């Protein structure tokens, strides 16, 4: 019998024990039908299509857990495109049928995940509370009178109630973090640009981020790694430059003095203080810091010219369909008309001045730990004062994307009556996404508050996030070992972890090796060759698995140092030069996956 919360460890164990993706889909269908919150989904994937997709996955990859997310059910916020399902952004008149998946959805599907449906949101991702939708207001899984948090409201509830293993949200002002706090979940908010936004209806295009709701930090990080990677079709996409944090003695900045604002919610304040003590017990050095410049930066997002970006995203639709907007959303977006180009530049100047001031605070600390939300409200309270009370939720979240930070939101426990949950968020400089994860995971584990609505379950040991010095060996794969390819199971079965998708340096060429089963490419470095780099993946395996892996590599392939597009060098597959004589070159295709896809289409 499956547990309430469908974490990756539990599902993978079920598959190893003989369950099939079709079995899991039937359970998900039954749970979805029994759900008591009618506002979670805008468009559920029809039952027959779910069954068809499960069967197709079993045909494509028959070996259990042979893909990183083999048979894993997930939900998608309805401002992110899923081919075959409409995108509404919670505005029926805006609805359209996307021709293809958003980049992140395509990558997750290639890794074996199955889309269960499109979830409800604050209309046009404008809000942090989850009540601004004509499809209803999803509720906290702990009390139907309370908001679920937004704008990614439905996504968080699907995970917390056990309908899916993870869900995608988006985060401009905190929408990938506040719903996590209100539903006892983890919220993974990547550094802006780490995960591409192609196929996402923008709120503020320059600072939007696709996020992950998951039961554990380990699950969320694994899913983010599948999604991330540069996409030239997104003008704000960036090539990752991972940044480290101290392995021990982490200096954690906490609120002090007048900047500690909880709007009268003493329960959340007490949980924040308890989180500080847990961090101290885990070896962190607690450092009070001045939040004022961060708060001033946060205020720019809604009380400055950045609100004009929200108008830029929907100006043509607003001009013809103003009556179709949620009244509060319309008020916020139309407020952008008060700003002109001069105000935009003045806002940019102010943000950069504040960035310098926050830099002085960053010199004191390695990481910030803030309340994810300083309070919560009932649906009735929120509807009575929607702009002010929504603003309370964003006090400690709105600055994070503007100041180019990574963040992981984790549960912080329940109030004194054991009724409602709260959360804290660990925030680091750009590209500390992986470096934040071990401490965030430790904070979650020491809390012992379960996952989602199951408050008694224990976080699986298999999802533990190892420290930076994890003893695992990185390896670059280029062909049949890529995600979704025939030999990927040689990495996944011994517990290999996908670290990132990236490209090689420009001076590599790729060839189809003749008479190889399954078909394999040959990667050769040619100094001076000026290409665009080739698609590769970086995985990590145990030293024992790496040794067995290397021992079984057939000639003319071997292991050597592969230079990546960020300049790093990692051991990976290379080919002896003599083997490519007369072989077909496919360098121009950009990678092995493009070649295999082309072959399939021709067949």
Tell me the catalytic residues.
Answer: 77, 151, 175
Cβ–Cβ < 8 Å for 304, 295: no
Kindly list the distances between the CA atom of residue 165 and the CA atoms of 4, 92, 93, 563, in Å, as whole numbers in the listed order: 10, 27, 31, 35
**Rounded Cα–Cα distance for residues 89 and 74 (Å):** 18
Beta-carbon contacts of 133 under 8 Å, excluding residues fewer than 6 positions away, are 39, 90, 120, 121, 122, 123, 153, 326
Q: For tokens 């979704």, name the residue.
A: 484
Distance CA 242, CA 567 (A): 12
Q: At what angle do helices 292-303 and 341-362 cross, to 10 degrees?
A: 160
Q: What is the DSSP letter of 217?
A: H
Question: 555 exposed, middle or buried (CB, 10 Å; 0-12, 13-18, 19+)?
Answer: exposed
In this structure, what token pair is assigned to residue 366?
């390695």
The alpha carbon of 377 is separated from its chain's Cα centroid by a whole number of angstroms, namely 26
Q: Measured between alpha carbons, how far is residue 412 from residues 86, 253, 268 in Å?
A: 36, 17, 9
Contact present, 387 and 332 (Cβ < 8 Å): yes
Distance CA 460, CA 445 (A): 9
Residue 68's nearest CA partner among 226, 228, 227 is 226
Q: Are 522 and 510 in contact (CB under 8 A)?
A: yes
The first and second tokens of residue 163, run together, are: 């309908």
Asked, as a colleague might, if the bond just before 194 is cis with ω within 30 of 0, I would say: no
Angle at 54 between CA 51 and CA 60, to 5 degrees: 140
Q: What whole-number distance in Å separates Cα of residue 157 and Cα of residue 163?
A: 8
Strand spans (E) along 372-469: 406-414, 421-428
User: Phi and psi of 244, rounded to 5°?
Assistant: -95, 165
- In degrees to the nearest 10, what's the CA dihedral of 544, 545, 551, 557? -140
Residue (of 481, 527, 503, 515) closest to 583 by Cα position: 515
Rounded CA gap, 72 and 64, in Å?
11
H/E element, 316: helix 307-321
Angle at 397 between CA 275 and CA 253, to 5 degrees: 45
Strand partners, 262: none
Q: What is the CA radius of gyration of the chain?
A: 24
Contact of 382 with 131, CB cutoff 8 Å: yes
CA angle 319, 322, 325 (to 5 degrees): 135
CA dist., res. 137 & res. 121, Å (int): 8
Q: Which residues pair with 85 in a beta bridge?
A: 82
Three-class DSSP category at 546: helix
């Amino acid at each position: 019998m499956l547990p309430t919360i469908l974490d990756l460890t539990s599902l993978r164990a079920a598959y190893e024990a003989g369950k099939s993706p079709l079995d899991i889909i039937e359970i998900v269908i039954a749970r979805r039908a029994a759900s008591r919150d009618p506002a979670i989904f805008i468009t559920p994937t029809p039952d027959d299509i779910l069954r068809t997709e499960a069967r197709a996955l079993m045909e494509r990859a028959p070996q259990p857990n042979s893909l990183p997310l083999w048979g894993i059910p997930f939900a998608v916020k309805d401002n992110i495109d899923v081919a075959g399902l409409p995108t509404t952004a919670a505005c029926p008149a805006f609805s359209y049928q996307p021709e293809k998946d958003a980049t992140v959805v395509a990558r997750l599907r290639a890794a074996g995940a199955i889309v269960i449906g499109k979830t409800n949101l604050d209309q046009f991702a404008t809000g942090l509370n989850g009540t601004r939708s004509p499809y209803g207001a999803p509720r906290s899984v702990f009390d139907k009178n309370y908001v679920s948090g937004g704008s990614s409201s439905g996504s968080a509830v699907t995970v917390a109630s056990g309908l899916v293993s993870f869900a995608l949200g988006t985060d401009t002002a905190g929408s990938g973090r506040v719903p996590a706090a209100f539903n006892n979940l983890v919220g993974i908010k990547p550094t802006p640009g780490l995960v591409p936004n192609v196929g996402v209806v923008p709120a503020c295009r320059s600072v939007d981020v696709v996020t992950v709701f998951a039961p554990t930090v380990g699950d969320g990080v694994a899913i983010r790694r599948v999604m991330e990677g540069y996409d030239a079709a997104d003008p704000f996409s960036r090539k990752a430059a991972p940044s480290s944090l101290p392995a021990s003695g982490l200096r954690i900045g906490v609120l002090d003095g007048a900047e500690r604002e909880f709007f009268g919610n003493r329960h959340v304040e007490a949980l924040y203080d308890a989180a500080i003590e847990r961090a101290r017990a885990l070896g962190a050095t607690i450092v009070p810091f001045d939040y004022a410049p961060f708060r001033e930066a946060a205020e720019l997002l809604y009380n400055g010219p950045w609100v004009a970006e929200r108008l830029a995203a929907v100006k043509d639709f607003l001009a013809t369909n103003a009556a179709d907007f949620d009244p509060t959303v319309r008020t916020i977006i139309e407020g952008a008309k008060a700003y002109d180009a001069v105000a935009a530049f003045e806002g940019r100047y102010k943000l950069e001045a504040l960035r310098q001031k926050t830099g002085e605070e960053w010199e004191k600390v390695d990481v910030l730990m803030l309340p994810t939300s300083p309070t919560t409200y009932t649906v009735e309270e929120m509807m009575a004062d929607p702009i002010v009370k929504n603003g309370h939720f964003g006090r400690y979240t709105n600055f994070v994307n503007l100041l180019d930070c990574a963040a992981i939101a984790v549960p912080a426990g329940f109030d004194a009556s054991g009724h409602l949950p709260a959360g804290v968020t660990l925030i680091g400089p750009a590209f500390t996404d992986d470096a934040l994860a071990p401490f965030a995971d430790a904070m979650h584990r020491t809390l012992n508050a379960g996952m989602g609505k199951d408050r008694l379950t224990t976080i699986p040991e298999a999802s533990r996030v190892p420290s930076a010095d994890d003893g695992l060996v990185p390896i670059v794969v280029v062909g049949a070992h890529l995600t979704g390819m025939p030999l990927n199971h040689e990495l996944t079965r011994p517990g290999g972890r996908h670290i990132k998708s990236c490209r090689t340096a420009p001076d590599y060429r790729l060839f189809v090796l003749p008479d190889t089963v399954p078909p394999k490419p040959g990667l050769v470095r040619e100094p001076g060759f000026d290409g665009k780099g080739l698609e590769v993946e970086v995985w990590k395996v145990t030293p024992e698995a790496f040794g067995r892996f290397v021992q079984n590599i057939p000639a003319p392939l071997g292991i050597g140092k592969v230079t990546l597009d960020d300049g790093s060098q990692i051991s990976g597959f290379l080919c002896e030069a003599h083997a490519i004589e007369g072989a077909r070159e496919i360098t121009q295709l950009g990678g092995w996956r493009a070649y295999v896809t082309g072959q399939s289409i021709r067949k």
